[in-house]
Amino acid sequence: MAPDGRQPFPLLCSSCHRPLPTEQCNNAESFRCPHCSVQLQVELFPAMLRALNEQGTLGAVAGDGEASCFYHPDKQAATVCSSCGRFLCSLCEIDLAGQCLCPVCFEQGRQSEQIASLVNKRVLHDSIALSVALVPLLIWPVTLITAPIAFSLSIYAWRKPTSILRRTKLRLLAALFFSGVQIVGWGVLAVVLLQKWIS
């Protein structure tokens, strides 16, 4: 809270737009708005929950000889980014899954899907490989092309993360089996045709 007892920022209910208590934020469980009783779950950056300093601004002002924030040179450094090592003030630090990240590393990790707790979609390589192995069986000559593709995709996807929801490698094993059988079948057919052509 600010020295005068007011909240340093307006935290409002998304339904009735009236002030919410900050002590119920960043909890794993939801809570009810004290005004309209709508169910809410509020997650805030840690800097928003910190009290204002005596100057009325977030983050302490850096003094002479003190480390300052990389992004706000006038603010005192409070921590270091776990990824790039830049000094960060309390406004810039993002605490995520036990790591402290700066805004740039956070955004890069989000875009490259390197931060597992932020990934919300994944390519299901196992389902693609199985489809490429089975669907062409309806038009069997196409398997001459699709079987090696499905086999290669299955090997490529073996170490890739599967769905965000836990699932086994059964689809990859099935894709490897069916595409392998198709490749062997084409190989046997090629040998038989070659022997007939030679004789």
Domain locations along the chain: 1-44, 54-120, 125-198
Q: Is residue 5 over pLDDT 60?
A: no
Percent of the chain with pLDDT over 70: 76
The predicted structure's pLDDT at residue 163: 67
Q: pTM for the complete prediction?
A: 0.37
Q: Is residue 51 over pLDDT 70?
A: no
**pLDDT, mean over the chain:** 77
d(Cα 182, Cα 189) in Å, to the nearest integer?
10
d(Cα 47, Cα 26) in Å, to the nearest integer?
12
Confidence of residue 78 (pLDDT cuts 50, 70, 90): confident
Q: Is residue 151 over pLDDT 50?
A: yes
Percent of the chain with pLDDT over 90: 5
Lowest mean pLDDT of 71-80, 121-130, 184-193, name the range: 121-130
The predicted structure's pLDDT at residue 184: 92
Q: Which CATH class is domain 54-120?
A: alpha beta
Q: Is residue 21 over pLDDT 70?
A: yes
